[in-house]
Amino acid sequence: MDSGRDFLTLHGPGLPSGRHTVPGQAQRATGALRNVMQCLGVRRRSRSQSRSRELYLQEQSLEVAALNEQRLGLQDDKDLQALLKGSQLLKVKSNSWRRERFYKLQEDCKTIWQESRKVMRTPESQLFSIEDIQEVRMGRRSEGLEKFARDVPEDRCFSIVFKDQRNTLDLIAPSPTEAQHWVQGLRKIVHHSGSMDQQQKLRHWIHSCLRKADKNKDNKMNFKELQNFLKELNIQVDDSYARKIFRECDHSQTNSLEDEEIETFYKILTQRKEIDLTFKEAAGSGETLSVDQLVVFLQHQQREEAAGPALALSLIERYEPSEMAKARRQMTKDGFLMYLLSADGSAFNRAHRRVYQDMGQPLSHYLVSSSHNTYLLEDQLTGPSSTEAYIRALCKGCRCLELDCWDGPNQEPVIYHGYTFTSKILFCDVLRVIRDYAFKVSPYPVILSLENHCSLEQQRVMAQHLHTLLGPMLLDRPLDGVTSSLPSPEQLKGKILLKGKKLGGLFLPGGEGSPEATVVSDEDEAAEMEDEAVRNQVQHKSTEDKLRLAKELSDMVIYCKSVHFLGFPSPGTRGQAFYEMASFSENRALRLLQESGNSFVRHNVSHLSRIYPAGWRTDSSNYSPVEMWNGGCQIVALNFQTPGPEMDVYQGRFQDNGACGSSQGSSCQKSTRIRIQLWTPR
C-alpha cells in the first residue's frame, strides 16, 4: 500500500493503467515499478543509515563532553550539565529590545553557541570562547540591566563581561535556578580552565580547534579539514609541506588524523628550533635532562635562587608527561617545553604575584595605575560613555579614574567629553559603580580625578552624591599626624580621594567669600583637545562666565589639590605644597624631561604629577609610559580601552607587586632572574 502510494506520487497520471496497455507497456511499467521499489529500498536504507549516523554522532558528542568534563574536573556537575543542555534566555539591549535566544555550552566545554536571527551570520560568528570572558555577574550589575531590566527580579538577571571591547552580554533567565546554573557553571569553567596544566591546556585547545574544523563531525581530520584547522590556528603553511607532514602523521593509513596523530601534527608544525638548541645545550649528548643538568640550567639560565635537586625533582614531577622518564628522574624535551611555558618558567617572578613591597612610603614614591577619560569605551570625539568602562578599568587594577563633570538635566550632573559628540552618563551612576568595584581587586586607595565644569548648584549635588554614595570610603579630612608629606598607600587602604580644585590650603580651608571663591574650571580640557575651536570655547567660558567653586565640594579635596604648574622652584625658594599636584600633557612632560630632567625628578620625589595623552589622540591611541616613569611621574594616564604595545607594557608594569595598582619604581632592580626588559625607552 505504501509502495503504491509512493509510486503514484512519483509518477502521477502519466503511468498507463494495466487494462488499457499495449504490448510492452506493461513490461516497461513493471520495470519502472521495480526500479522505483529499488530506489525506495535505497532511500529507506539511506534514512536508516542517516539515523544511525545521527545516533553515532550524538554518542560521540556525549563522549567528547564527558572527556572535557573530566579534564576540567567537573564530572557530573549539575551546573555544567545544565549548560550543556542549553537554555532559552532573554537577551537585553534596550527598553524596547528583548529577544528570546537559545544559548548552549558546546561539547568542548570551551565555547558557547548563541542563536542568531541575522540572515548573513556565519555559524562561527555565533560562537564565543570561555577564554574571552572577563567575569560573570549575578543580578543587575551592568549598565544595560540597571537601565533596562528594572521590572525583572534581580535573581533572574546576569551579565557576561568580555575581556576585549565587545559589548557586555545582558541576559534574563526564565527562573532564578536557571540563572544560578549559568552564573555558577561559567564561573567554574573559567576557574578550572585557568588551573589546568600546560599539557591539558594544549590538548583542550587543539580539540577546540579540531571541533571547529571538523565539518562532518566524525572526530577525525581529512586533509581539507586540516586546512581549516590551520586557519583556526592562524598558521600559514605551504600545502605541499602540510600534506607531507599529514602523511607522516597518518600512522593508521586512513587518509585522516585522529587523537594523538593530530597532536603530533601540531607539534611538528610548530617546532621551535631555539627551544631545541637550548635543550641540546643543557642536555649535552643525551636525549633527556638529568637532575644535575636541570639544576645547572636553573642556576645559570633561569637564575633561580633556590635551584637545587629538590626544585629540579619537583619540576620533573610537575611537568614531565612521560611516566618512564619520571621514574628515572629525568626530563624529556616535551617536559622541558611544558616547564618553559608554565608559570614556573615565566620571566615574571612568582613571588611578586603578592604585595611584597613596602607600602608605608609617601604616595609620591609609587607609580599609580591611571586611566585617561575613563568613561569612554572608544574614541574621544563620538565614542560612547559608559559606567562599564569604569568597571573594566578597576578590574584591571586601575587606581586613578577620571570624571569630566558637566551640568546635566534635572539638576543631575553628567559625565562626558565636553564639546564633543560622546554620549553622557549620570555622575551618580558612576559613583555607584566605583563604590561597588573600587576595592575588589586592590585594597589600596583610589583617586578620582575631577574635571569640574559644573555650576555651583550642581557642584553641591556632586558633593551630596559623593557623601551619600561613597560614605566612609571617601577621605574628607586629613589623617591625624600627616602634616608635612603625603600619606602612604597603607595609611589610605580602603579610601577614595578626590583630585580637584580647592579653596585655600589643606589646613586653612577657604570659603565662598574668600578671594579664591571665584575660580575657573580646570583648563586641562582645552589643553587636552589642543584644538583651536575647543580652546576658544573653554577660554571664553573662563573669562566671560567664570565658574565658582562650591565650598561643599572644595572641602572634600584633601591631598590632591589641582594647581597649574608655574615652574620648578629655584634653590632656597618655596615651591608647591606637598598636597598640590599639576597635570601635564605628554608633549609638555617630554619637553620638561628633556630641558629640566633633574628638576622634574626632584619635584616628583615629594609631589604627585599626572600625565595625560596629547589632544591630537582623538582615536584614543596611547603613548609610551616608560619615559614618564623614568622621570618619576607617578600618575601616567593611558586610554585603557585601547589595546596595543603601550597598554601591554602598562599592564606588565602593574602586574608586579600583587597587581595592586601601586608599585615602587625601583622594583625592577630587585628581581633576580632574567626578565623581559620593560624599562628601556622605545
Catalytic residues: 372, 417
Q: Residue 139 corresponds to which cell in the numbers above?
A: 543580578
| Amino acid (1-letter code) at residue 540 | H
Q: Cβ–Cβ contacts within 10 Å for residue 470, how many?
A: 22
> Which residue matches cell numbers 565555547?
111
Provide the 3-class DSSP secondary structure of residue 558: coil
> Which residue matches cell numbers 633561569?
302
588 alpha carbon, distance to own chain's centre: 32
Smallest Cα–Cα separation from 611: which of 581, 591, 636? Answer: 636
d(CA 418, CA 424): 10
d(CA 578, CA 559): 8
Burial of residue 249 (CB within 10 Å: 0-12, 13-18, 19+) is buried
Dihedral of CA atoms 221, 225, 227, 230 in degrees, nearest 10, equals: -70
Smallest Cα–Cα separation from 528: which of 568, 588, 576, 581? Answer: 588
Smallest Cα–Cα separation from 660: which of 442, 490, 399? Answer: 442
- CB under 8 Å to 396, separation ≥6 — which residues? 369, 441, 640, 651
**Phi, psi dihedrals of residue 511, rounded to the nearest 5°:** -125, 175
Smallest Cα–Cα separation from 454: which of 412, 498, 502? Answer: 412
Measured on CA atoms in the order 539, 545, 550, 553, is the torsion positive or negative? Answer: negative
Check if the beta carbon of residue 372 is closer than 8 Å to that of residue 402: yes
d(CA 543, CA 520): 8
First to last CA, the chain: 84
| Amino acid (1-letter code) at residue 592 | L
Smallest Cα–Cα separation from 603: which of 625, 627, 624, 634? Answer: 634
Dihedral of CA atoms 394, 400, 403, 404 in degrees, nearest 10, equals: -140
